[in-house]
Amino acid sequence: MSLAWKAARSSGLHGLLRVPGDKSISHRAIIFGALAEGQTHVSGFLEGEDTRATTRIFSQLGVHIETPGAESRVIHGVGLHGLQGSAQSLDCGNAGTSMRLLTGLLCAQAFDSVLVGDASLSQRPMARVINKLDVMGARISARDGNFAPLHVHGGQRLQPVEIDTSVASAQVKSALLLAAMYAEGESVITEPRPTRDYTEAMLQALGWPISYSPGRIRIRGGGRLQGGEIRIPGDISSAAFLITAALLVPGSDITLENIGINPRRTGILKALRLMGGRIEIFNESEQGGEPVADLRVLHSALKAIDLPESLVPDMIDECPIFFVAAALSEGTSHASGLAELRIKESDRIASMVAGLRAMGASVTETADTVTITGGRLHGADIQSRHDHRIAMSFAVAAQCASGQTLIHDCENVATSFPGFVDLARSAGMILE
């Protein structure tokens, strides 16, 4: 079923807001809770379609996972070698994180598995993990060597490796880490630019022998994980839509509670502050090893920037909403090093350029750059291309546009941000 949103100009966002739990950490909580010995208690779990897909898959693999209440899970870990093969294919839905991480895990099991996904996920490149896992001795076959369905052949003996991921991708790195847990000996994994380190942090928290610094990880195979407690903070990627809306809509003043501010995720805060955004970070603390804070955001007159390329990996999912901020700022903004955006849930450069142009913005693109001159926007008919972050980005753009904006195919917003419309409306966004 196709879901469309109508959105229009807001007269201000206000209030104390909480966004759902971090998607990346929620996936990993299920994965490592399942592989641990004993119970793992998870709170702040993202009740999104993507993380539910991961949960369903582990149930299929024989892991008992209870839901004692909303946003909490109790995972009865089966240990490193306790997963059971499934005769049915394992459906990752729209979730790239599920498919890529599970490829790394399943290639090390004694049984065969088949991973499938929805239309969007079936077009996303998997060779980036398959080719690296190959080096370790994995056997994985894919459509055209690159796309789901993936047939993962178990029963292989994996070798430890010294390997570079070649792309700045936490999914590729995490797939390799999962496989390396089953290899005999020490693996060393490096990345061209440091990416989110939640896999490393969770392994360490649950007792696995691993040492890491940004961009370089040493991990030994054959350890044990001990179940524990995992408290998941609010997802900064979800918060980014409300933060940007509050900066852009005159009169706004919002506070977001309990947001994860891992430095590998805060590129968007740095970028928006460089533009003149008033974002105050306070009540900083640590929750289960992860830095969290509350954020106060006040309307600000934003100015264009040249986005430092080094920030891109730290805001890889926030580039679409950054483009919205640029389209409503004074001057011409430029961003480079964006090639990865073309292989997300949609081609996010193409999706954003088409939509912003339809709203009257002046935008140009190359293979991996975007240049945007800020100005006034007007309402338009927008194709979100079934991409959650594109739909939410245009819902924010519409809050500063004249007339009405119609955004098509918004159903996938439930993959990462269930309750977005209700929360956005409660804050003062005009959206239905």
Q: Is 314 a catalytic residue?
A: no
Using CB under 6 A, pick the residue from 60, 97, 329, 333 that binds ligand S3P: 97
Paired strand residues for 370:
335, 365
Please state the separation of Cα 426 from the chain's center in Å.
24
* Residue that the structure tokens 């609010």 belong to: 234
Using CB under 6 A, pick the residue from 51, 94, 169, 399 that binds ligand S3P: 169
CB contact at 8 A, 242 and 427:
yes
Using CB under 6 A, pick the residue from 200, 294, 317, 409 that binds ligand S3P: 317
Paired strand residues for 383:
408
Nearest to ligand S3P of 171, 405 (CB atom) = 171
Q: Which of 22, 314, 317, 409 is catalytic?
A: 317
C-beta of 171: minimal distance to ligand S3P in Å? 3
Nearest to ligand S3P of 113, 174 (CB atom) = 174
Stretch touching ligand S3P by CB under 6 A, among 70-78, 83-91, 168-176, 290-298:
168-176
Decide: is 51 part of the binding site for ligand S3P (CB under 6 A).
Answer: no
Nearest to ligand S3P of 7, 271 (CB atom) = 271
Stretch touching ligand S3P by CB under 6 A, among 163-171, 255-263, 282-290, 424-432:
163-171
DSSP state of 330: B
Stretch touching ligand S3P by CB under 6 A, among 169-177, 218-226, 227-235, 291-299:
169-177
Tally DSSP H helices, then E strands, for the chain.
12, 25
Nearest to ligand S3P of 171, 258 (CB atom) = 171
CB contact at 8 A, 135 and 84:
no
Element (H, E) at 27: helix 23-35
**What are the b/e assignments for 256-277, b being 16+ CB within 10 Å?**
bbbbbbbebbbbbbbbbbbbeb
Decide: is 316 part of the binding site for ligand S3P (CB under 6 A).
Answer: yes
Among 2, 3, 6, which residue's Cα sits nearest to residue 425? 6
Residues 173-202 that bind ligand S3P (CB under 6 A): 174, 196
Instruction: Report how far residue 427's alpha carbon sits from residue 396's, in angstroms, rounded to the nearest whole number.
Output: 12
Paired strand residues for 78:
37
Nearest to ligand S3P of 83, 315 (CB atom) = 315
Residue 74 in tokens: 């109790």
Instruction: Give the x/- contact pattern for ligand S3P in 321-360, rule: CB under 6 A.
Output: -------------------x--------------------
- Range list of H helices, 36-139: 49-60, 96-106, 127-135
Nearest to ligand S3P of 170, 361 (CB atom) = 170
Stretch touching ligand S3P by CB under 6 A, among 69-77, 166-174, 328-336, 346-354:
166-174
Using CB under 6 A, pick the residue from 40, 103, 171, 393 that binds ligand S3P: 171
C-beta of 340: minimal distance to ligand S3P in Å? 6
The terminus-to-terminus CA distance of the chain in angstroms comes to: 17
Please state the separation of Cα 155 from the chain's center in Å.
31
Residues 6+ apart with CB under 8 A from 407: 4, 5, 6, 7, 382, 384, 391, 394, 395, 398
- Residues with catalytic annotation? 317
Which residues contact ligand S3P (rule: CB under 6 A)? 24, 97, 169-171, 174, 196, 316-317, 340
